[in-house]
Amino acid sequence: MPRKQKPSPQKPNVDAWLEKLTPEQLEAVNRASKIFPDGSAYNIHTLEGMYGQESSSGRLNMGEKNSPGLAGHFQISPDVAAHYGLKVDKKIDERFDVNKAATCAAKYIMDLDKNFSRSTNVGYKKEIVKTIPVEDPIERTKFALTAYNAGAKTIAKAQRAAQKAGKDPTKWDDVKQYLEEAGIKNKKKLKEIREYPGKVLNYSKEFKKKSQANGLPFGWHWITKDGRHILIKD
């Protein structure tokens, strides 16, 4: 009787994702990452981590065009797309243009980081909530990334709930326990939001080791100085 063959081990998410990317997508991520200023907590690999997480870890499941929900590269809502100048209507949906979507995502995450660097009104009309400033740039990255996934208003409300309970509203590990008070009731969504920043940051670390999105060998990166791009070694 022939032996049963063991199933091939599933490739890690990042490996599977990198195999499916096209040169155009890699270049779009590279170009969009130039938006991040030198010394920022964000870089090309952060953007890759976001892209990998938002595109279902390699399946590039982008949803339907003209959808009123999240869709396209980087899973962008119509409101966010419109705010950053992307067209979403019956004829065209620029969320599916990888260059424009990547640029939109980079600008959006930088603005979210700014929102949590100071007390900022977020939300709409009667649902406006003030964020609580997070001074530590690494910790603030977690808040900005989670706000990308769940919305700044939800995360600001969770901050307020954590503060009211005597917890630290500037620590994500404290704040993530108060997402239900912020209005998130679905258990699957709660799990997704709580795990989101950790997954993106872990992906980012793995992309740093494996990705060629910046077209450079491992250990080299670009900086901008006096308006010029300069290649330096880490």
Q: Where are the beta strands (DSSP E) in 67-200?
A: 121-122, 129-130
Whether 123 is in a domain gets the answer yes
Nearest one of 139, 173, 134 to 156, comparing CA atoms: 134
Which pLDDT tens digit goes with each residue over 168-226?
999 999 999 999 999 999 999 999 999 999 999 999 998 888 876 655 544 455 566 66
Nearest one of 72, 125, 123 to 95, comparing CA atoms: 72
Q: What is the pLDDT of residue 52?
A: 85
Which pLDDT tens digit goes with each residue over 123-137?
877 788 999 999 999
Between CA 105 and CA 32 the distance in angstroms is 8
Whether 6 is in a domain gets the answer no
We report the CATH number of the domain holding residue 160 as: 1.10.530.10
Q: What is the pLDDT of residue 174?
A: 98
Q: Based on the structure, what is the number of domains in the chain?
A: 1
CB 204 within 8 A of CB 46: yes
Whether 33 is in a domain gets the answer yes
Q: Which residue has the tokens 């010394």?
A: 39
| Domain span at 214 | 13-224
CB 175 within 8 A of CB 197: no
Neighbours of 137 (CB within 10 A): 14
Q: What is the pLDDT of residue 216?
A: 52
Instruction: Round the average pLDDT of the chain to a whole number and report it.
Output: 85
Amino acid letter, 65: K
Q: What average pLDDT does this structure show over 60-64?
A: 69
Whether 189 is in a domain gets the answer yes
